[in-house]
A and B are shown apart, each in its own frame.
Chain A
């Protein structure tokens, strides 16, 4: 681990830090000019357009599909059904959880919005017209939309495609120490239990999902532009599933308009666009619209949690227990490391010091779209953090103790690290109290509590909510983690050209995180080449090394480490070449940023640019030293990294209407050294807005028949600038002990940590009405009902 120097970072001729620091993003200009290249911008000669016919029913048998009228419409080039795909062995495809998912339905439809047929036409308007001409004879079946009813004896069996399947059960999984936990609860002075729902929400990036598939009939090469956060993983899966030779598949992830986990899975539309291209011999573009995105692509969360906490009367936590009912939709399509069907949920023990914990997770099928792991969840850490931070506040209320005081009493202390949690996580480093005190300082916590008391006396209701989170990101060590058998190591290639400029090729793929800037800064930090002289190449599987992609905040912990290490490899090689040029021994040389020089004779040295030219020149190189100045690395992370933070939210609630206004949001994050603080802050801002959305308004609800009630932006509400306050950020810096630059990753931290802070604040505001807990989203109606003392189920249709 290298500690970041305190010395000021020198600036390049263009004014950029040669290393870590604030700088304008290199990628901005094309976006500002409207010259980004998103999938829907891709135009190819002869390109056709695909559109998907989707089921209006949540559960129905398909008796017949008549496509004749659609095929006859002028401009229609092909209509593909499940029956057609069946002949190609493509009607079903594997998911990232070792389940299968229908590409186009054959026997039944299993969720409202499921893909039934695919039209390819000369224009998207004609494709849409053709959809209306397809006649599907559906026989509606009873549906189960409520996860709590999925295991009832009379529940309809959804996955009767699986031989011998007679119920909707997927798996049971547990973690922790059940006996010790039960003993701790039995002996506890205080026990608090709450049913806590993390409802179904959706990442809803501004760009929907889509692809342009071009199977070249002459070369047999498949070029696929697609909205993917993991281009190499997709390529390998297409090769395995479709039997296409992997060297002839090129997956290109161009500019992506937001991912947030929505763009990790392989969707039926992508497969259909490939089949459409094979069948027509032309490129086929498929772009879903917003309702398709909300109704059929990977949703997030949907965890029904019963959370219990045991404590002494003085507020020392003894144990935490969580029972989870996990709603996976009609196919188990979540992306998470193989060993962990519930992702990293068992990090629910949180940031506190206590000896016993246990969770069990029961996963079920329902007649809803597949998904669950998405929307910056860090593999279910959003659910885990929400559970613990909510129950800790409930405990504080039960003990009539200030929620900050209760946390400070129980936070892990620096000397306890590395700390192994009761469910087997090894947190590597942290000074939690320090971070919390910084947050409380920025917030003016004591003044806020005073203000709250004064307001309450006047019948005004403000609330203060805290969330302290620890998450584990940077998946992950090969021996512990793989997805579909693929290890999660990332490659990184670096080439320094003769004129001293560089190209670094990443396996991760940006969807807005600024990789073209931050990765150049990492290489600049190691080699002293100005960031403006370093080109970052990503997103094209033909031009980049293998890796499992960008999600779970893994880019900095894994690929960032790879980039640092590959640059060090280049630096080490540069030393040997510099020694040859200076005619001295390599050990005689010392490094300063951008230059190897002779110890004791600093005038004698070679800059990295000069060494680059030397490496390509006629200079005689010593035995064993190859020419050029390139290196390659595959980085297998030894552990996850553990960013953490403390967030404080202040809200004002109008009890007459239930409306909530978020007045302030304070966020103090510890993600280790910050490569570009401007970009880190931007990630935190975005995550806080996510939290506001989920806490107050975002919801994909269903009625009992499985009708999706959140299928457009009229109903799936996203926060605007008016709902978001001006955030107040702070930082502490505790480097990761194993990461080459100590950086931990931060992309999902605020989405993970913020919902609890907001919900805790609202509940705190209305606690004088006797409210202990109320589920998200805390819409005005839900807040008002909570104040009335009503127990409200938020995820099913309002009655």
Chain B
């Protein structure tokens, strides 16, 4: 079946089986491997991307359902060689260790801040409760999101360290 999607601003067209999960389509057909997967039951959130600007667990959606929609993945967060404040915040605050949950976590955090620019700690914790991390214990992730809220623009690095 034909699927036409705009991913991180770029149009793509592909022929996929209807049963193809969106996460597999993104990783294998579009070769965007920053989106990860970690469970079978829609719990872990490692696969979080945006569909039409809304965070969605891409393991629980079919690629064909994304036809004619826009998709945003972690690869699209940095703009013009500059890290998004959320990405910068994760680096400043040591909000990642193994990095595996990080793309999904950041997509959730970026969407949270877009809707609620000054969230309190409890709101952040609730906001990321659909993203599981096994390394950080979440404290530094919360700090990273707070940093991004307090540093909405500027103060970010070039994409390379």
Contact = CB atoms under 8 A, between A and B. Distances in A.
Interface of A: 24-36, 38, 40-41, 43, 124-125, 203-208, 255-258, 260, 289-291, 511-514, 532, 678-679, 681-682, 684-690, 712-714, 718, 720-722, 724, 726-727
B94 A678 contact: yes
Given A24-B161, A205-B100, 11 more contacts: A31-B96, A33-B34, A33-B159, A34-B75, A35-B75, A40-B37, A206-B38, A258-B97, A681-B94, A684-B137, A726-B139
Contacts of B36: 38, 40, 206-207, 257
A449 to B, nearest CB: 26
Contacts of B58: none
B126 to A, nearest CB: 6
B102 A32 contact: yes
A32 B87 CA distance: 6
Contact of B134 (A205, A514, A532): A205
Given A32-B87, A685-B136, A686-B137, A722 B129 contact: yes
A687 B133 CA distance: 12
A205 B136 CA distance: 12
Given A714-B41, A722-B125, A686 B102 contact: no
A685 B138 contact: yes
24 contacts: A28-B90, A28-B99, A31-B102, A32-B96, A33-B159, A41-B33, A125-B17, A206-B46, A257-B38, A258-B100, A260-B134, A291-B40, A512-B99, A678-B94, A682-B94, A686-B135, A689-B137, A712-B43, A713-B39, A713-B44, A714-B43, A720-B132, A721-B129, A721-B138
A206 B133 contact: yes
B20 interface: yes
Top 4 nearest A-B pairs by Cβ distance? A34-B34, A257-B100, A31-B99, A512-B98
B153 interface: no
B41 A713 contact: yes
Interface residues of B, number: 61
A258 B135 contact: yes
Nearest to A28: B91
Contact of B100 (A43, A206, A289): A206
B148 to A, nearest CB: 12
Contacts of B124: 721
B104 to A, nearest CB: 9
B78 interface: yes
A484 B33 CA distance: 37
B140 A685 contact: yes
Contacts of B41: 290, 712-714
The interface residues of chain B, by DSSP majority, are classed as loop
Most buried by B among A125, A532, A720, A722: A720
B138 A514 contact: no
Nearest to A123: B28
B5 interface: no
Given A32-B96, A34-B35, A686 B17 contact: no
A537 B160 CA distance: 18
B92 interface: yes
A37 to B, nearest CB: 8
Given A290-B40, A686-B136, A721 B74 contact: no
B121 interface: yes
A687 B27 CA distance: 31
Given A207-B36, A290-B40, A28 B74 contact: no
B149 interface: no
A294 to B, nearest CB: 9
B38 A207 contact: yes
Contacts of B140: 681-682, 685
B141 A721 contact: yes
Contacts of A203: 134
Given A24-B91, A32-B90, A206-B133, A256 B98 contact: yes
Contact of A724 (B19, B43, B103, B137): B137
B32 interface: yes
B106 interface: yes
A711 B46 CA distance: 18
A29 B34 CA distance: 12
A206 B132 contact: yes
A630 to B, nearest CB: 26
A718 B102 contact: no
Contact of B137 (A125, A204, A685, A712): A685
Interface string B65-92: 0000000011101100001000100111
B7 interface: no
Most buried by B among A27, A31, A688, A714: A31
Contact of B75 (A33, A255, A681, A712): A33
